Amino acid sequence: MIVEGTHTFHVSAEQLWNYLMDPEVLAKITPGVSQLELVGEDQYKTVSKIKIGPVKGAFTGKLHVIDKDQPHSFAIQMEQLSKIGNAHARVDMAIKTIDAQNASLEFNGKANLSGLIARTGQRVLSGVANVIIKEVFSSLEEHIEEQNIT
């Protein structure tokens, strides 16, 4: 499953970088993530609950921020395990300066599903991924706006 897209934020590239590297922000913006615990340098343990359509499940997983090149690019490596199946993903992120107040985030990655969810829910699951991605960016946007106001 390929995930890709671009989203523009009304902050500078450097600010966007800082947001994305803040575990609290990450925990807040990732849908269903109830816990993001730092377990090593750039390594987190996550607990998340997904509730989309017919799929409701608790996932525990690992999130690893790698290949950091501040403030231009990084990659996220994720592993989410559950009783109904697992997801392994690597998403490359590129931050591009548009102007002093605007930066874009380009993401490009691939998620491999396994277990029951890989076999029975392709149609549903690719939709779920899109929903999650949408929510990540709208939450991040919201968060940034909140920060800018306060």
Partner 1 sequence: MTNYIGKSVKRVEDKRFITGQGKYTDDIKLNGMMYGYFVRSPYAHAIVKSINIDRASKMPGVNKILVGADIPEAIAGVPCGWQVDFKNGDTMKEPPHPLLVRKKVRHVGDGVAFVVAETRAQAKDAADEVDVDYEILDAVTCPKKATEEGAAQVHEDAPGNLCFDWELGNPKDEVAAAMAAAAHVTELDFSNQRVVPNAIEPRSAIGHYDTAYDKYTLYTSTQNPHLIRLLMCAFVLGIPEHKVRVIGPDVGGGFGSKIFHYAEEALVTWASKELGCPIKWTADRSESFLTDAHGRDHVSNAKMGFDSEGKIVALQAYTYANLGAYLSTFAPAVPTYLHGTLMQGLYTTPKINVDVKAAFTHTCAVDAYRGAGRPEATYLLERLIDLAALEMDMDPAELRFKNFIPAFDGVEQEGYTTQVALQYDSGNYDPVLKRALEMVGYEEFRKEQAAQSNGKLLGIGFSTYIEACGIAPSAVVGALGARAGLFEVAQVRVQPTGKVSVFTGAHSHGQGHETTFAQIVADRMGIGIDDVEIIHGDSDSVAFGMGTYGSRSLAVGGSAIVNSIDKVLEKGAKIAAHLLEASADDLEYAEGKWTVKGTDKSVSFGDVSLTAYVPHNYPEGLEPGLDFNAFYDPANFTYPFGAHVAIVEVDKETGEVKLKRFIAVDDVGNVINPMIVDGQIHGGLAQGIGQAMHEGTVYDETGQLINGSYMDYCMPRADDLPSFEIDRTVTPCPHNPLGVKGAGEAGCIGSTPAVVNAVIDALWKGGFKVKDVPMPMTPERVWTAMNN
Partner 2 sequence: MIPNSFEYKRANSVEEAISLMTEDAQVLGGGHSLIPALKLRLNNPGTLIDISKIDALKTIGDNEKSVTVGGGATHAAIANDAALAKHVPMMGQAAREIGDIQVRNVGTIGGSIAHADPAADWPAVLLASNASVVISNKDGKREVDIDQFFLGFYDTALEEGEIITAIRIPKTAANQHSCYVKFKQPASRFAIVGCAAALDLEGGTVKDARVALTGAADSAYRVKSVEKALIGNSFNLDLIHSAVGDVTEGKSIMSDHYASEKYRAHLASVYVKRALKKLL
Partner interacting with residue 55 (select from partner 2, partner 1, none; CB below 5-8 Å by kind): partner 2
Cβ contact 26:36 at 8 Å: yes
- Binding to partner 1, residues 116-135 (CB under 8 A): 116, 118-120, 122
From the CB of 42, what's the least distance to partner 2, in Å?
Answer: 31
C-alpha to C-alpha distance for 50 and 71, rounded to whole angstroms? 30
Fill in the DSSP letter of residue 68: E
Residue 148 tokens read as 């800018």
Fill in the DSSP letter of residue 150: -
Does residue 6 belong to the site contacting partner 2 (CB under 8 A)? no
Does residue 45 belong to the site contacting partner 1 (CB under 8 A)? no
Partner interacting with residue 148 (select from partner 2, partner 1, none; CB below 5-8 Å by kind): none
The rounded Cα 87 to chain-centroid distance in angstroms is: 13
E strand map for the chain = 2-9, 33-40, 43-52, 55-69, 73-81, 86-99, 102-114
Query: Among residues 21 and 136, whose Cβ is nearest to partner 2?
Result: 136
Does residue 128 belong to the site contacting partner 2 (CB under 8 A)? yes
Binding site for partner 2 (CB under 8 A): 52-57, 83-84, 116-117, 120-123, 126-128, 130-131
Residues interacting with partner 1, by CB under 8 A? 83, 85-86, 88, 112-116, 118-120, 122
